């Protein structure tokens, strides 16, 4: 099932691309600090997260479907140890200002897969994947031909810890970036 998720997300992306007007599609890229939470904060330090994706409107009411990939890095308390959370997510975004002018607040929710990739200078590297989910809120500001945006988000994925319990890769992030509308 986990190996099929990227193919399913690409299929959904293809269907949306064929059913949406090109003028309303958008691409985005952003980055910012990430702050480990829950048991992830027991060993991981503040790091960074980079996101990029594409969105498609669903109707005319400010609702968008989004497909996103992200990559982050958090160093650990032990020198030479780090975790790279990578994710492929799909979700919905709701824009409160659909006029295309002025500041546009928005909210979003996402679900998909996250890979927790651990690497170390002294211990064996490890990688595991799990269902991930998250959401957040932000504001987009027109900047000529592009939109600048700032948002806060919370992400979580729970993994089997191998001892009958679970551990989580949970973090908050504050991101800033740009989005570009495709077409006219």
Confidence of residue 97 (pLDDT cuts 50, 70, 90): confident
**Residue 63 belongs to a domain:** yes
**Residue 25 belongs to a domain:** no
Confidence of residue 22 (pLDDT cuts 50, 70, 90): very low
**Residue 133 belongs to a domain:** yes
Residue 121 has pLDDT above 70, yes or no: yes
What b-and-e string marks burial along 51-74, b requiring 16 or more CB atoms within 10 Å of the CB? Answer: bebbbbbbeeebebbbbbbbbbbb
Q: Which domain holds residue 126?
A: 5-17+31-181
CA–CA distance, 2 with 91 (Å, rounded to integer): 17
pLDDT (mean) for 117-128: 80
pLDDT (mean) for 28-54: 95
**Residue 23 belongs to a domain:** no
| Of the candidates 97, 88, 64, 78, the residue with the CA atom closest to the CA atom of residue 7 | 88
**Residue 9 belongs to a domain:** yes
Average pLDDT value over all residues in the chain: 85
**Residue 22 belongs to a domain:** no
pLDDT (mean) for 34-52: 94
Residues in the chain: 184
Confidence of residue 37 (pLDDT cuts 50, 70, 90): very high
What lies within 8 Å, CB to CB, of 174 at 6+ separation is 32, 33, 150, 151, 152
Domain count, the chain: 1
**Residue 102 belongs to a domain:** yes
Is the model's pTM score more than 0.85? no
**Residue 98 belongs to a domain:** yes
CATH at 171: 2.40.160.20
């Amino acid at each position: 099932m986990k190996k099929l998720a990227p193919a399913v997300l690409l299929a959904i992306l293809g269907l949306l691309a064929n059913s949406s007007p090109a003028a309303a599609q958008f691409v985005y890229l952003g980055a910012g600090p990430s702050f480990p939470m829950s048991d992830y904060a027991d060993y991981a330090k503040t790091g960074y997260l980079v996101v990029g994706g594409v969105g498609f409107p669903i109707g005319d009411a400010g609702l968008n479907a989004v497909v996103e990939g992200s990559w982050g890095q958090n160093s650990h308390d032990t020198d030479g140890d780090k975790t790279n959370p990578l994710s492929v997510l799909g979700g919905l975004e709701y824009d409160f200002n659909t006029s295309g002018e002025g500041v546009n607040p928005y909210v979003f929710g996402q679900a998909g897969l996250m890979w927790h990739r651990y690497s170390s200078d002294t211990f064996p590297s490890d990688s595991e994947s799990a269902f991930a989910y998250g959401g957040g809120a932000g504001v987009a500001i027109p900047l000529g031909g592009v939109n600048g945006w700032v948002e806060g988000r919370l992400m979580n994925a729970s993994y089997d810890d191998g001892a009958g319990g679970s551990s989580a890769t949970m973090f908050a992030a504050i991101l800033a970036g740009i989005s570009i509308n495709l077409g006219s």
